C-alpha cells in the first residue's frame, strides 16, 4: 500500500503514526488555549503494510506500480487540473478490474484551481471524463465533521463514488 500527499507535514505526521502508533498534538479549545491530546492507531491495524510518500498527484512516479484500489479522498477540488488527474493519471495506476474511490465535496476555489479547470456540474463531468475507462458501481453522500475549535465545526457531505476499471483502453 502507498499513501501520498503533497504536504510534507501531513506525510511526516503519518510516518510518525506509522512508527509509534501514536502522535501527540495540541487541540485548539478557544482563542489561543490548547490542550494536549494523543492520536492513536488501533492495534488491529497492520501499520507496516503502508508506505507514505510526499508527491504531486498530477506528477506521480511512473514506477509506483498498479493497484487493486486507488482512493482519492477529498483531493480533486484541490488540484490545478482535476480533468488531467482523472483522464491521464488515474488510469495508469489502476489494474484492469480494479477500483477507484473518489470522495469530494466539490468545493471549487480559485485558490487551487483556475476557473476554466473547475468541473462544473461536478458529478456528470466526472462521469463523462471517466466513462471510457471506468464504470460507476456505487454513489452515496459521505458526511464528515471538521473541528475548528471547541465550539465551531464544519459539517460537509462529500460525494463518494466507486468506479470499476474496465479492461478496455478506449
Ligand atoms: C481537503 S485535504 C484532504 C486530506 C485527506 N485526504 C482527507 O481526506 O482527510 C486535501 C489534501 O490534498 C493534498 N493535496 C493538494 N494538492 C495535491 C497534489 N497536487 N498532490 C497530492 N496531494 C495534494 C493537500 O496537501 C491536502 O492534504
What ranges make up the beta strands (E) of 41-151? 51-54, 67-73, 94-104, 134-149
C-alpha cell, 158: 462529500
Q: Which residues contact 50 (CB under 8 A, 6 or more apart)?
A: 1, 2, 3, 18
Report, as an integer, the average pLDDT of 42-46: 96
Rounded to 10 degrees, the C-alpha dihedral 127/132/133/136 comes to 30
What is the tens place of the pLDDT at every residue in 73-127?
999 999 999 999 999 999 999 999 999 999 999 999 999 999 999 998 999 999 9
End-to-end CA distance of the chain: 28
Share of the chain above pLDDT 90, in %: 96
Task: Give me ligand 1 centre to Cα 125, in Å.
Answer: 21
Task: Give me ligand 1 centre to Cα 57, in Å.
Answer: 9
Report, as an integer, the average pLDDT of 149-158: 98
For the domain with range 57-170, which CATH number is right: 3.30.70.590, 3.30.9.10, 3.40.50.150, 3.20.20.140? 3.40.50.150
Residue 29, number of CB atoms within 10 A of its CB: 12
Confidence check: pLDDT of 10 > 50: yes
What gap in Å lies between CA 83 and CA 136, rounded to an integer? 17
Tell me the whole-structure pTM to 2 decimals. 0.94
Residue nearest to atom 4 of ligand 1 (CA): 74
Task: Give me ligand 1 centre to Cα 5, in Å.
Answer: 6
Residue nearest to atom 12 of ligand 1 (CA): 75
Task: Give me ligand 1 centre to Cα 33, in Å.
Answer: 27
Ligand 1 neighbours, Cβ below 6 Å, are 5-7, 10, 56-58, 73-75, 78-79
Share of the chain above pLDDT 70, in %: 98
Q: CATH 3.40.50.150 residue ranges in the chain?
A: 57-170
Task: Give me ligand 1 centre to Cα 77, in Å.
Answer: 9
Residue 132, number of CB atoms within 10 A of its CB: 12
pLDDT band at residue 168, thresholds of 50, 70 and 90?
Answer: low
Largest separation between any pair of C-alpha atoms in the chain: 56
Q: CA 13: distance to chain centroid?
A: 16
C-alpha cell, 114: 483556475
**Residue 132, pLDDT score:** 85
Residue nearest to atom 17 of ligand 1 (CA): 6
Across all residues in the chain, what is the average pLDDT? Answer: 96
Contact between 69 and 99 under an 8 Å Cβ cutoff? The reply is yes
C-alpha cell, 151: 465550539
Of 118 and 62, the structure prediction assigns the larger pLDDT to 118
Q: Which residues contact 79 (CB under 8 A, 6 or more apart)?
A: 57, 58, 85, 112, 113
Amino acid at each position: 500500500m502507498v499513501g501520498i500527499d503533497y504536504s510534507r507535514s501531513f506525510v511526516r505526521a503519518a510516518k510518525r503514526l506509522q512508527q509509534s502508533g501514536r502522535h501527540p498534538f495540541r487541540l485548539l479549545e478557544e482563542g489561543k488555549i490548547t490542550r494536549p491530546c494523543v492520536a492513536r492507531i488501533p492495534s488491529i491495524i497492520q501499520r507496516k503494510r503502508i508506505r507514505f510518500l510526499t508527491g504531486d498527484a498530477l506528477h506521480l512516479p511512473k514506477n509506483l506500480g498498479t493497484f487493486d484500489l486507488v482512493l482519492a479522498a477529498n483531493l480533486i477540488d484541490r488540484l490545478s487540473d482535476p480533468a488531467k488527474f482523472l483522464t491521464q493519471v488515474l488510469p495508469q495506476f489502476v489494474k484492469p478490474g480494479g477500483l477507484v474511490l473518489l470522495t469530494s465535496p466539490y468545493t471549487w476555489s480559485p485558490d487551487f484551481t483556475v476557473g476554466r479547470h473547475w468541473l462544473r456540474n461536478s458529478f456528470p463531468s466526472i462521469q463523462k471524463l471517466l466513462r471510457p475507462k471506468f464504470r460507476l458501481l456505487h454513489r452515496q453522500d459521505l458526511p464528515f465533521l471538521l473541528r475548528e475549535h471547541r465550539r465551531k465545526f464544519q459539517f460537509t457531505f462529500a460525494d463518494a463514488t466507486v468506479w470499476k476499471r474496465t479492461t478496455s483502453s478506449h
